[in-house]
Amino acid sequence: MNLYVFSFMFLIFFSMLVFYLSLYFFLFNFCYLFEYQFMFINSLVIYYVFILDWKSTLFVSVVLFISSMVMIYSSFYMGYSSYSSIRFMYLVLLFIFSMLLMIVSPNLISILLGWDGLGLVSYCLVIYYSSVSSNLSGMITCLTNRLGDIGMLISIGWLMSYGGWNFFLNFHFNNSLIFLLVISCFTKSAQAPFSCWLPAAMAAPTPVSALVHSSTLVTAGVYLMIRFFSNLVLFNYLFMLMGIFTMIFSSFCANFEFDLKSIIAFSTLSQLGLMVMSIFSGMLDYSFYHMLTHAMFKSLLFLCSGIFIFYYSDNQDVRYMGGCYKFLPLTSSCFNISNLALCGIPFLSGFYSSDMIIEGFINSGFNLILIMILYLSLGLTCCYSFRLLYYSMFKSLNFIPLNCNSLEFNFMGFSIMVMGFFSIMFGCLLNWLINLDMLWFYFPFKLKIFTLVMIIVGIWFGCEINNFNYLLDNSYYFFNSNMWFMFGYSMFMIRLFVNFFFNYYKVLFWGDFFLSKGSYNMLILFSNLIQFYLNNNIKIFMISYLLVLLFLI
C-alpha cells in the first residue's frame, strides 16, 4: 500500500476524532492535565506535561487535517516509490509530531522538545534539494531560530528558582522573563527584526511550505503567546508596534516581488503581523480564530502554487505565467478562492476573523495613525493579491510549458478541492459551532463600510500597479525585494553585540585572560620554540655551531 495514502488515512481519522473531542471539551468546559514524572534534581521535579482543552485539541485537529491533505498531495508531487520520497515523508511526519508536542505542552521543558524538533526538522526539509541556495537558506533558517531559542534556554534556567517550569502554576512571572520568552516566539513567528528567514525557507518543497506557512512552524510562536503570555502588560505597546511594522513592510515587499512562493511568503508574514498586533491589543480569541482560518486558505494557496510550478516546469516567476484558467480551471478557481479569502472578501473564511480584528482595533482607543496604517496594510494586501491574479490569470502566456498533461484529476486535485471547500466555509463553521466570547461593535455606516472601501481601492490599485512598472526606478524593486535590507540590519546588530560582549569579557576577566591563560600561552610558545629547535634543521645547526665557535674564541 502507498505509504502516503496510509498516512493520509491515519491523519484524517485522528483529525476528525480530535475535532469532536474539542467540541465536547468546549461544550462541557473540560480540561484534562496529564503529568509524567521524568526525574528528580534535589527538590526540583521535572515533569512531562500534556494539557487537553478545547483550544489545544481544536488546533491539533486543524494541524492534522492540513497535514493529511499535504500528505495525499505529496504522493503525486514528490512520488511515492523512491527512497528520497520515503525519507521526505518521514521528515514531514516528524515535523507534524514535533508541532503536536508543542501544542499540548504547558511546561517549558516539554515545549522545548517540540520547539527544537520543529527547528531541526525544518532545517532538514529546507535543505532537501541539496543545492547551494537550499543549503544557504537552511542555514539562515536554522541559525535565526537558534538565535531566538537563547531566550527560551535562559528562561529555563531562570525558572529553576520558581521550583518548576509549569506556566499554569505561576501567574506572577518576572516581566524580564516573559520578555525573553516573547522574543523567542517572535523569532519562531518571523516578526521584525527576525523576518529574514521566512522567505529563505521557500527553498523547501512546496508541500513543506504549505505546512510551514499555514499551521506549524510560524504559528508556533503565535499560539504560545495566545495561550500563556496574555498577562504581559509592560511591553504590550512595543510588541504591538513591532507586529504592525511587520505587517506593513511585508505588504510593501510583496508588491515588488516576482517570485510566486516569495509573494505568498510575504503574505504569510503580513498575516502573522496582524495576529501579533491583535494579541497585544488584547484580542486573544480573535487572534486564535484568525490563526485557524488563515491556516486553511494559506495552505490552499501554497498547494495551488505548487501545481502551477509543476505545470510550468519548475518556473516560479509570475511574469512568465498567464492564462492559467485555460489550462488548469480547477486549480485556478481554488487559487482565486484562497486569494479572495486572504483579502477578506465577504463571506469567505478570512472575512469573519479579519473584520472582527479590524473593528476591535478601532474600538480599542488607539490613535489615528495606527488605525490608518492598519487600513493601509489591508489595502496593500488586496493590492498584491490582485497583482498576483493579474499576472497568473489575465496576462497572456509567456512560457511554453513542458508538462502538458492534465494535473486536475488526481490526488493533487482532490486535496485542493477539499481545501477549497474549507477555505469558503471554515470561518462560518467555526462561528456557528464554537460560540467564542466576542464583542459586537456598533459603528456609523461610513466607518463600517470603510473596510470594504479599502478592499476595493486595493483591488483597483493591484490591477493598475502593473502599468506603473515602467515609471518606477529599479532601486524601488531592489529595496523591497531585499526586505528593506532587514538581513543586513540584523547581521550588523548581531555583530555589534558580539563585539561588545567580547570586549566586555576581556575587561571583566582581565586577570583570567592575562594570568592563568597568559602563563598557559607562554608555555605553549616556549614548547613550540623548543620543538622548532629540535627539528634538526641545517640552518639552526650552522647558527648554533657559529655561536659555539664565538664562545670558544
Cα 436 versus chain centre, distance = 26
pLDDT tens digit at each of 553 positions of the chain: 578 888 888 888 999 999 989 888 888 888 888 888 877 777 777 788 888 888 889 999 999 999 898 888 888 877 766 677 788 888 888 888 888 888 888 888 888 888 888 888 888 888 888 777 778 777 888 888 888 788 888 888 888 777 777 776 665 667 777 888 888 888 888 787 777 788 777 777 888 878 877 777 788 888 888 887 655 655 678 888 888 888 888 888 888 888 888 888 888 888 888 888 888 888 888 888 888 998 888 888 888 888 888 877 777 888 788 777 777 888 888 888 888 888 888 888 888 888 888 888 888 778 888 888 888 888 888 888 888 888 888 777 776 655 555 555 577 888 888 888 988 888 888 888 877 666 667 777 777 788 888 888 888 877 777 666 555 666 666 666 666 666 666 666 666 766 766 666 666 666 665 666 666 677 777 777 777 766 666 677 677 777 777 777 6
Q: What does the pLDDT read at residue 371?
A: 86
Cβ atoms of 407 and 311 closer than 8 Å: yes
Helix H or strand E encompassing 33 = strand 32-41
Interatomic CA distance for residues 8 and 69, integer angstroms? 7
Q: What does the pLDDT read at residue 504?
A: 66
Interatomic CA distance for residues 303 and 415, integer angstroms? 8
Q: What does the pLDDT read at residue 553?
A: 64
Q: What does the pLDDT read at residue 41?
A: 74
pTM: 0.83
Q: What does the pLDDT read at residue 510?
A: 61
Q: What does the pLDDT read at residue 489?
A: 64
Q: What does the pLDDT read at residue 380?
A: 86
Residues 6+ apart with CB under 8 A from 126: 134, 137, 138, 141, 200, 201, 203, 204, 208
Q: What does the pLDDT read at residue 170?
A: 60
Q: What does the pLDDT read at residue 72?
A: 87
Q: What does the pLDDT read at residue 405?
A: 53
Pick from 60, 61, 80: nearest CA to 6: 80
User: End-to-end alpha-carbon separation of the chain, Å?
Assistant: 95
What's the number of CA atoms in the CB half-sphere (13 Å) around residue 38? 13
| Cell reading at 187 | 523569532
Residue 109's Cβ-count burial label (10 Å; 0-12, 13-18, 19+) is middle
State how far the alpha carbon of 538 is from the alpha carbons of 13, 76, 157, 529, in Å.
81, 71, 59, 16
Pick from 304, 342, 289: nearest CA to 70: 304
The structural domains of the chain, with segments of one domain joined by +, span 269-471, 509-552
Q: For 400-516, where are the alpha helices, taking DSSP H only? A: 411-433, 445-464, 474-481, 486-508, 510-511
Name residue, grid cell 620543538.
Answer: 531
- Collapsing DSSP states into helix, strand and coil, what is residue 347? coil
